[in-house]
Amino acid sequence: MNYEEITEVRSLDKQVGNTVTVAGWAESIRSHGKVGFLVLRDGTGLVQGVLLKNELSDEEWELIDSITQESSVSLTGEVREEARAPGGFEISVTGLNLIGSSDGYPIQPKEHGVEFLLDHRHLWLRSSSQRSALRVRHEVEQAIHDFFYERDFVRIDTPILTGAIGESVGTLFELNYFEESAYLAQTGQLYVEAACPAFRKVYCFGPTFRAEKSKTRRHLTEFWMIEPEVAFANSNDNMILQEKFICYIVDRVLERCKPELQQLGRDTSELEAIAIPFARISYTESVELLKDKGSEIEWGSDLGAPDEMLLADQFDRPVFVHDYPKSVKAFYMKENPSDPRTVLCNDLLVQGYGELIGGSQREDNIDLLLARIREENLPEEAYDWYLDLRRYGTFIHSGFGLGLERTVAWITGRSHIRELIPFPRLMNRLSP
């Protein structure tokens, strides 16, 4: 069996009446008397093989007993349309080959505990819900690249090993780098800021790392983030880009992933209703609203997950919360000239999930930036190069970071972020 001779299941619609060979893994197999049915998954789709005793050699017919869930097999036979079969096609099998057996496959068609499934993540990936979720992730990643490509952004790959703390000291992974300390990147932002004067509109898309010591459904220790940065854009322009970006991604998934969303049981009406403009509310107004709704939040503290959820529920579309207190946000955000207790920033909150995006206008005044670095007790020397961006042609600029897994969790309606990355890294999980 040559690679070239194997037909992909997704293209069987063009092969009706022809004899083809398909290869993949047995999702299910059953036989009674002189007839058997094998549902084969090849990664591009499902097809049912119909096995008739009188169409097969004795050896082939006997093979059926050794084919179990997840055995790898190839089937040869004529393709027929069959509306009732999974995938809509059947193959009348005249050649059957067992490639690799699969005895005692751990994941059975029944309820398993989530820790068990995570321990078997290398196998769990094959399950239909996981395939659907990761296919949506793939589509979202492609949509992200297309969005920025269509708008002439240049992709900048930022370092994973860094010497400057990107966000905050609390969640750093620190490691030995020869004689020095290095950190795993919490963000690529400082580096895309540096690339702005070279290319004006840039973005990075890579893994980022945070030593999150809490176990929540929204936190991974390794997650993927998309961070655009735009020269001469202010905080308002930044929010406009974010809402266009979210709508673009959602539209793409609705256009190309309907079967996956359906398989996951996602009610798409909420996604279909999403439109520009998103709601906007300042942090200060949010605190008042939250207090009215029974929250104990006081001005000056960060919104916790329950506050974010409660707030998002007050709107029928995603909502920007803007201009948070300086004290709860990172050092690089621009002081708000009309209220210096706050910074020009925004989070984007969505229903059922809370924060998908954190963004801000950056502090372009070197004195204010330096003061913030000192206030936060960050090592000044490590930021010397970053301060150069304010020494040599400073400029208004803004950007944001979208968490990929949270976005895909929200779009697919999965509650826990761990299913939206192929191999999740959590506080208690480094394997598989």
Q: Given the complex with ligand 4AD, which of 77 and 354 has the nearer CB atom?
A: 354
Q: Which stretch binds ligand 4AD (CB under 6 A): 1-9, 16-24, 251-259, 353-361?
A: 353-361
Q: Which does residue 403 bind out of Mg ion, ligand 4AD, none, counting CB within 5 to 8 angstroms by kind?
A: ligand 4AD
CB of 355 to Mg ion, least distance (A): 6
Q: How many residues bind ligand 4AD (CB under 6 A)?
A: 23
Q: Annotate 169-237 with DSSP letters as a single string.
A: GGG--EEEETTEEEEE-S-SHHHHHHHHHHHSEEEEEEEEE----S--TT--SEEEEEEEEEET--HHH
Indicate which single residue of 230, 358, 389, 411 sits in contact with ligand 4AD (rule: CB under 6 A): 358
| Shorter beta-carbon distance to ligand 4AD: residue 53 or 425 | 425
Concatenate the DSSP letters of all residues of 233-251 into one string: --HHHHHHHHHHHHHHHHH
Is the CB of 46 or the CB of 357 nearer to ligand 4AD?
357
Is 405 a binding residue for ligand 4AD by CB under 6 A? The answer is yes
Distance CA 401, CA 226 (A): 5
How far is 347 from 355, CA to CA, in rounded Å?
Answer: 6
- Ranges within 150-189 binding ligand 4AD (CB under 6 A): 167, 187, 189
Contact with ligand 4AD (CB under 6 A): which of 357, 369, 389, 408? Answer: 357
- DSSP assignment letter at 295: -
Q: Give the C-alpha distances (Å, rounded to integers) separating 223 from 119, 185, 211, 408.
A: 19, 11, 11, 12
3-class SS of residue 95: strand
Which residue stretch of 75-83, 254-262, 366-374, 399-407 sits at the interface with ligand 4AD (rule: CB under 6 A)? 399-407
Q: Which stretch binds Mg ion (CB under 5 A): 216-224, 233-241, 356-364, 365-373?
A: 356-364
CB of 209 to ligand 4AD, least distance (A): 9
Burial label, 265 (beta-carbon count in 10 A; 0-12, 13-18, 19+): exposed
Out of 183, 191, 320, 400, the residue judged to bind ligand 4AD by CB under 6 A: 400
CB-count exposure of residue 93 (10 Å: 0-12, 13-18, 19+): buried
What's the distance, Cα to Cα, between the start and end of the chain in Å?
Answer: 32
Query: Can residue 360 be called a binding residue for ligand 4AD (CB under 6 A)?
Result: yes
CB of 226 to ligand 4AD, least distance (A): 9
Amino acid, single-letter form, for residue 217: R
Question: Considering only residues 139, 227, 308, 419, which one is a binding residue for ligand 4AD as defined by CB under 6 A?
Answer: 227
Q: Which residue is nearest to Mg ion (CB)?
A: 358
* 42 forms part of the interface with ligand 4AD (CB under 6 A): no
Check binding of 401 to ligand 4AD (CB under 6 A).
yes
Q: What is the DSSP string of 35-55?
A: EEEEEEE-SS-EEEEEEEGGG
- Contact call for residues 363 and 389 (beta carbons, < 8 A): no
Compute the least distance from the CB of residue 363 to ligand 4AD, in Å: 12
> Which of 78-86, 179-187, 337-345, 350-358 is the region at the interface with Mg ion (rule: CB under 5 A)?
350-358
CB under 8 Å to 198, separation ≥6 — which residues? none
Q: Does 406 bind ligand 4AD (CB under 6 A)?
A: yes
Binding test (CB under 6 A) with ligand 4AD, winner from 41, 201, 219, 252: 219
Rounded to whole angstroms, the Cα distance separating 369 from 373 reads 6
Rounded Cα–Cα distance for residues 373 and 279 (Å): 32
Q: Which stretch binds ligand 4AD (CB under 6 A): 42-50, 137-145, 154-162, 349-357?
A: 349-357
Report the residue from 223, 245, 283, 383 that binds ligand 4AD according to the rule CB under 6 A.
223
Residue type, 423: F
Which token pair is 397?
Answer: 């600029």
- Please select the residue that binds Mg ion; options are 24, 36, 358, 424, rule is CB under 5 A: 358
**Residue 53 CA, distance from chain mean position:** 46
384 burial type by CB count under 10 A (0-12 exposed, 13-18 middle, 19+ buried): exposed
Helix (H, G, I), strand (E, B) or coil at 64: helix
Q: Is 399 in the site for ligand 4AD (CB under 6 A)?
A: yes
- 24 touching Mg ion, by CB under 5 A: no
Which one of residues 70, 90, 212, 308 is an interface residue with ligand 4AD (CB under 6 A)?
A: 212
Interacting partner of 201 out of Mg ion, ligand 4AD, none (Cβ under 5 to 8 A depending on kind): none
Q: What angle do CA 242, 190, 146 make, to 5 degrees?
A: 40
- List residues near ligand 4AD by CB under 6 A: 167, 187, 189, 210, 212, 219-220, 223, 225, 227, 355-360, 399-401, 403, 405-406, 417
* Residue ranges binding Mg ion (CB under 5 A): 358
